[in-house]
Amino acid sequence: MKRSAEDVSDRLRVRRLIYLWSLVIAAPVMVIAAVLNVSDPALRITYVLLTAWLVPAFFSMLLYPKSVPFVERVTTLVIAFLWLLRMALTLYLEVDARSAMEALSPAVTLGLVLVTLMPQFTFKTRTAFGVGLGIVAVTSVMGIIRFAGASDATVFVTFLQHQSFLLVLVAFFFLLGLEKAALARVEVEQDRLRVEVYRDALTGLPNRRALDEAMTDALERANRTGEPVAVIAFDLDHFKSLNDTHGHEAGDEALRKVGTVVRQSLREGDVLGRYGGEEFLIIAPGVGCDVAARVAERCRAAIEGMDLGPFGSVTASFGVSQWNPGDVGSDVVRRADARLYRAKRAGRNRVDADSLDVGDG
C-alpha cells in the first residue's frame, strides 16, 4: 500500500512538471494564434478565453502541487465548453447552412473528437461517458436548430452522420475505459495476492518464502562481488510457557511487537522476516559476523526492554553466521540455527556468533 501511494505521488509530480512546461510554451503560442486568426473570429475568441483560464491554472499548479487533479478536471470542462462555443459560433456566423456544415470539418470536428476523449483521462469512466454524452447532446441540439429548416435536406442528413460518428466514438471510449478499469482492478488484486504470498499474516513481516528469495539474491550478489553476507537467527525464549500461561493472544502480541522493535533496530538494507513459529531471520548483506553480532545484540536488548503490559516481558536468543564461498542459503541458516541453540543451552537471552561471543545480557 505504501509503495502504491509513492507511485501515485511520483506520477503526480511528473504530470505537474509536464503541464507547467507545456503551459509555458503553449500560452504564448495561443496568444500569437489569437492575434493572427483575425479572419476566424470563432477560433480567435476560443484561444483568448482558453488562455485566460490557463494562466490561473498554471499558477495554481505552481503554488499548490496537490491541485493538479482538480486543475485537470476543470481544464477538461473548460476546453469542452470553449469548443462547444466555437462550434456554435462557426454554425451561426456562416450565412447559409451548407457553408456552416462545411466549416465544421476538419478543425471543429477534430476538436470535438478531442474533447470527448479528454474526460477519459481526467474523470472516472462512467463520469467521462456522461460528459461525452453531454457534448453529443449539446452539439446535436445546436445542429438541429441550425439545419432542421435548411432548404437542402442533405445538409441535415450530413450533420446527423457527423453526430452519429461522435456518438460511436463516445461509446468506443467508454468501452475502452471499462476495459482499462477492469485491468487496473486485476493489477490491484495481483498486487494484493503478491503481498499475501510474501507476507506473514500475523506480523506483516516477510515470510519464509520471501526470506528464501532474499537469501538467494544476497548470495548471488555475494558470489559476484565477494562482499560478505551474515545471517541472524533468533527466537523467543520460553515462548510455549508464555502461550500456556497467558494464552495465544499474548503470544501473538509478543510476535507482533518483536517484529516492530527489531525492525527499528536494524540497518538500512537488512531484511527481517518470520521464519516460522516464534523464529525470525535477519539477512544482513555487506557485513561479516562481527558487525552482525553487534546488530543482534542491539536487537536482543530491544526485545528485553519491551513491555507487554499484563503479559509481562520476553527475551530472545540469537545465533549469527556468515556466508562462506561455496555456501548455499541453507548452509548459512543451518549454522546460524546451531549458534542459536548453543545460545539457548548457555542460558538464553544472549547472542552466539561464528566469530565471537557477545555478552550474556
The verdict on 135 and 13 lying in the same domain is: yes
Q: Tens digits of per-residue pLDDT, 230-258? A: 999 999 998 888 888 888 888 888 999 99
pLDDT of residue 333: 92
Q: Are residues 228 and 176 in the same domain?
A: no
Same domain, 128 and 273: no
Indicate if 237 and 188 belong to the same structural domain: no
Looking at the structure of the chain, the number of domains it has is 2
Longest dimension (CA), the chain: 105
Q: Taking the mean position of all CA atoms in its chain, how far away is CA 212? A: 26
Classify burial at 133, counting beta carbons within 10 Å of its beta carbon; exposed 0-12, middle 13-18, buried 19 or more: middle
74 with 168, same domain: the answer is: yes
Task: Establish if 41 belongs to a structural domain.
Answer: yes
Domain boundary among 196, 216, 240: 196
Residue 150's pLDDT band (boundaries 50, 70, 90)?
A: confident
What average pLDDT score do residues 295-306 get? 93
C-alpha to C-alpha distance for 293 and 231, rounded to whole angstroms: 10
Q: Which domain holds residue 232?
A: 208-358
Residue 235 cell numbers, joined: 527466537
Domain boundary among 162, 196, 230: 196
Q: From the candidates 220, 278, 279, 304, which is the catalytic residue?
A: 278
Q: Tell me, yes or no, whether 103 and 138 share the same domain.
A: yes
pTM score over 0.85: no
Instruction: Convert the pLDDT of each residue in 84-137 to its tens digit.
Output: 988 988 888 888 888 888 888 888 888 889 999 999 888 988 899 999 999 999
**Length in residues, the chain:** 361
Extract the C-alpha cell encoding 18: 509536464
278 belongs to the catalytic site: yes
Which position has the grid cell 511520483?
Answer: 10
Q: What percent of the chain has pLDDT over 70?
A: 94
Domain termination site, one of 196, 226, 260:
196
pLDDT given for residue 338 in this prediction: 93
Residue 339: other Cβ atoms inside 10 A: 26
In this structure, what CATH number is given to the domain that contains residue 291? 3.30.70.270
- pLDDT tens for 195-212 read 677 888 888 899 999 999
Same structural domain, 223 and 345: yes
